[in-house]
Structure 1
Amino acid sequence: MENSNNINSVDNVNSSLISIESILQKLNPPQLEATTTINGAVQVIAGAGSGKTRVLTTRIAYLITQGIKPYQILALTFTNKAAREMKERIANFVGSSLAEKIWAGTFHSIFARILRYEAELLGYSKNFSIYDQDDSNSLVKEILRELKLQSKEYQPNQIHSYISKLKNNLVSPEEYQQEVKSQYHKNVAEVYFKYQELLKTNNAMDFDDLLLNTLDLLTGNKEILEKYQKQFKYILVDEFQDTNRPQYLIVNNLSKAHSNIFIVGDDAQSIYRWRGAEIRNILDFKNDYPMCKMIRLEQNYRSTSNILDAAHSIIEHNKNQIKKKLWTENEKGDLIDVIEAEDENNEGEKIANQIIKLVEDGFNYEGIAVLYRTNAQSLVLERSLRLRNIPYQVFGGLSFYQRKEIKDVVSYLRLLINPHDSVSLLRILNEPPRGIGRASLDHIIEYANTRDISLFEAFLYHNEITNLQSRA
């Protein structure tokens, strides 16, 4: 049976050689160079619409046709959608059986997978929970309540956002406690310390911990580092301009043994500094990999030349940048209209009137999109559209997994796997209502904290908790 599987794998690779060759013929020279440069560090500066996804997926398929084992390839992306698209395209080249063996996914999903294998080395069990932003905010809220820090200046989401920023900058609770001076930041430091303490008690990690714990695992255990360096002989990273410091350090540690690292990004598209992205990661890449080959993808297949020229006229003034000039064989296209408005209401009116004019000129509503910077701006725009009976649909609302009933069900499932998950327990404690009041709950939480046990364990000792109402 093993021989049969091996023969099938060889057949898949051989048959894909033909399809790969036909794809390679369709690439432009820089794309082809990026795809077929196998060994060493490669930095691909990919302008918008230059075919970077095609290059990434074709390169992975090309590696496999050159005899590289799929499980030796690590491909990191920033969204699940990008990861799925990558796997689907690769499967079209080499078959689903080989594509499934590639370690391709988001930074967080891949590192969570590694941590599931190695969690016990960090003091966690393999069934640890992963807290999303709502879970983390709930935990911070409970800590603020316990510390009696419930004034308006201590908003759970703001405190958690600040803690996340500290983590992205690799500042531990202990380090932060030593450097703060004001009473406010001393209180935040106490929340941070307690937050990390409770995460460990709950056998849980937040999204930042998935990065930091992976980094700690690799830098603190030489045997583990060498294990994954040996496994991941070829590393590819998409949207490299959006990586934060922990992500960069993890990738850097994994690639040190062989330097077969292939990064794709564009410093001109760096827009996530607010969530920890470090543009210096792509600007200074050559400092850590002085022998790296830089390849520029400058031919645009998506936009008109007028749009490219307008964008370049602004971007060329960036002080720190990797020089590039996008060009296209597409038509010149319409000129860009810049409309000046008196205020947000006037802006909404002008946008709505422009849509009416476009429809009168033969465009369909489905072919018109309105982009805005923040969700708060949608109110005025929607009002203007409604007043003129313009049909519209808002995208980017509450996701499926953020709906209350779904989060409740997920919390029950997480408790079955990890009973120490206090955030999930608190969420479903009175779903459905069980008559457990806030006063009783505070006594149970206090009992758990003083004995350094999980909330679930404290409930098991409810008969020993004084001042607890019998109904609870």
Structure 2
Amino acid sequence: MSGIKEFVLRSPTSIAEGPYRIDYEKALNPAQLEAVRTLEGPLLVVAGAGTGKTRTLVYRVARLVERGVAPQHILLLTFTRRAAEEMLHRAAALLDGRCRAVQGGTFHSFANAVLRRYGAALGLPSHFTILDRGDMEDVLQRLRTQLGFDRSATRFPRKDALAEVLSMSANKEEPILQVLTELYPHFLDHASAIEELARAYARYKREHALLDYDDLLLFLRALLEQHPDVRHTIAQTHRYVMVDEYQDTNRVQADIVYWLGQAHRNVMVVGDDAQSIYSFRGANFRNILEFPQRFPDARVVTIEENYRSTQPILDLANAILAEAREGYGKQLFTRRTRGEPPFLVATPDERTQSQFVCQQILEFREQGYALNDIAVLMRSSFHSFDLELELAQHRIPFVKRGGYRLVESAHVKDLLAHLRLIANPFDVVSWHRVLLLLEGIGLRTAALIEQWIQAQPQPLAALQSFPRRDVRERLSGLASLLERLSRLTNPAEQTDEVLRYYVPILERQYPDDHPRRRKDL
């Protein structure tokens, strides 16, 4: 139309420097300062152990915000939600509350948020349900039974082992047969059956709008790779991407970072190739080595000043690192030059080792050290069994860290399963868990109820009209609860309602320790 002039708003290529409230030069060492000041373009920060990696990330968040970048345009990806929260809390204390508006979280939480919003492009419904590892194992057990593999002439892998195999295959992007050959050769006789089970599992998830943790990452990568319009929209929102512990990413996560940075290339990854410890979960330390190849214009900053150890300890670490066949060369140093050198004690057997550790602990206590200042580390929790007996014999109190996380505890999952039914009435995994809590409902009856529910247009209301009267009577309490929950909209009120219903079940299911479990809830 004549007489109308069009204007195009261009995305800013850089943000002008200005005066800063924070004295970065005083607060950071030269290498940290270089990393914090490098805000545009790809950046790899190789941060040796104890060199202030978290401090560098915190100050960089503050620098971006102080420079004028809108907090919602910054994305901080970490391996735990707690790590992200702690970093943003520190950044807010350092600068101001704007830093709390930065989007920080895990790869999985970010994937969940993106797929809820844009997953329709891949055919995903926005109400999909996420399976945690326990849920995944329950589904595999269900399918294992349906396919008749539980009646195998030779012992078929248990549900937890099956979940490990399928997850490793997804994380390493390797065929199941290759994973079995490399890591689980004792399951090779069941290879074809496990592959069939994997296909049934994928089909089951698709039919019931379910995604497991591995799917979240795989679907996010597919979305970014296959839909440039969505990728562009996400890049416009998250113009500055930072990734913590990059050495522990798997190939899928590295691809996600690559696609997130294609539009603006403002990607900073932090890690240490010498600290990659999660290969057993599919992590690939080559991601950090190959970052400069994926981003050829990347700047590499190495942080080597250590604030945690003494120089004799670092000398040993440097000597070991010098033997690495490949990696980023680094020479850790500290201003704490004095200190006792580390020592290696060789014992003839595990019993003697445990006795020696107890002896050392008692000597430290005699020297005035508090027991809660002494730690014993081991690769796996079962390695502590002999030591636990020895500690008990010497009456040395201890706390063992490990085991299930709170949200993976059975009683917490019981509670959440009821709430998840309100969010997704077709969530078969939650129905299965909830039904098995009822007295007189076993696996077969639960399966019949689940099949009947799935055929009903209103699953929550369908319980009250289940055909078999004897079963319907057992379902009455649950049906009444779900009816009350459906009328409530406040999550806190819904949770209170479930608690009142669930406490008698809790006391029946866990007679030995229900008071402790109730405190958790």
Aligned to 2:149, what secondary structure does the other structure show?
A: coil
Unpaired stretches in structure 2, ≥5 consecutive residues:
1-17, 180-187, 473-521
Q: Judging changes above 3 Å, is the alpha-carbon distance between structure 1 residues 174 and 315 closer, same or farther for their aligned structure 2 residues?
A: closer
**Mapping 1:57-456, distance limit 5 Å:** 57-96=58-97, 98-150=98-150, 151=152, 152-170=155-173, 184-433=190-439, 435-443=440-448
Cα shift at 1:100:
3.2
Identical positions, percent:
34
Which residue identity lines up with residue 167 of structure 1 in the other structure?
A
Q: Per-residue deviation at 1:455?
A: 9.0
C-alpha contact (below 8 Å) 2:53/2:270 kept by paired residues? yes
* Counterpart residue identity of residue 87, structure 2: M
- The CA RMSD measured in Å over matched residues stands at 2.8
Instruction: Report how far residue 295 of structure 1 moved.
Output: 0.6
Supply the distance in 2 between the matched residues of 1:432 and 1:452 (Cα, whole angstroms): 21
**Residue pair 2:244, 2:269 contacting (<8 A) in 1 also:** yes
Q: Distance in 2 between matches of 1:268 and 1:432?
A: 51
1: distance between equivalents of 2:80 and 2:202? 26
User: Runs of 4 or more off by more than 6 Å in structure 1?
Assistant: 172-176, 446-449, 451-461
Amino acid corresponding to residue 298 of structure 2 in structure 1: C
Per the TM alignment, residue 226 of structure 1 is displaced from its structure 2 partner at its CA by: 1.1
Superposition deviation, residue 438 in structure 1: 2.8
| CA deviation after TM superposition for structure 1 residue 421, in Å | 1.4
Can you give the 5+ residue segments of structure 1 that lack an aligned partner in the other structure?
1-15, 177-181
CA 311–79 in structure 1, closer or farther in 2 if over 3 Å, else same = same
Distance change (3 Å), C-alpha of 1:462 and 1:188: farther
Which amino acid in the other structure matches residue 442 of structure 2? G
Using the size of structure 2 for normalisation, the TM-score is 0.80
Deviation at residue 89 of structure 1 after TM alignment:
1.2
Residue identity opposite 2:38 in structure 1: T
Letter in 2 for 1:437: G
Aligned partners of 1:444, 1:308: CA distance in 2, in Å?
62
Deviation at 1:25, TM superposition (A): 1.9
CA distance in 1, matches of 2:445, 2:218: 36
Please report how far the alpha carbon of residue 95 of structure 1 lies from its aligned counterpart in structure 2 after TM superposition: 2.2
Shift of residue 458 of structure 1?
Answer: 9.4
Read off the aligned partner of 1:35 and give its amino acid letter.
V
Equivalent pair of 2:20/2:66 in contact (CA under 8 Å): no
Asked whether 1:35 is paired with 2:36, we answer: yes
In structure 2, relative to structure 1, the CA distance for the partners of 1:222 and 1:457 (3 Å cut) is farther
Q: Number of paired residues? A: 445
The 3 A distance-change label for structure 1 pair 235 and 471 is closer
- Structure 1, residues 413-466: CA drift from partner, whole Å, max 9, x if none? 111101121111111103242x223333344567789x8999989979954xxx
Contact 2:432–2:447 (Cα < 8 Å) also in 1: no
Q: 1:417 to 1:447 in 2, by over 3 A?
A: closer
Once the two structures are TM-superposed, the CA of residue 133 in structure 1 deviates from its matched residue by 0.9
* TM-score scaled by length of structure 1: 0.88
Distance 1:144 1:293, change over 3 A: same
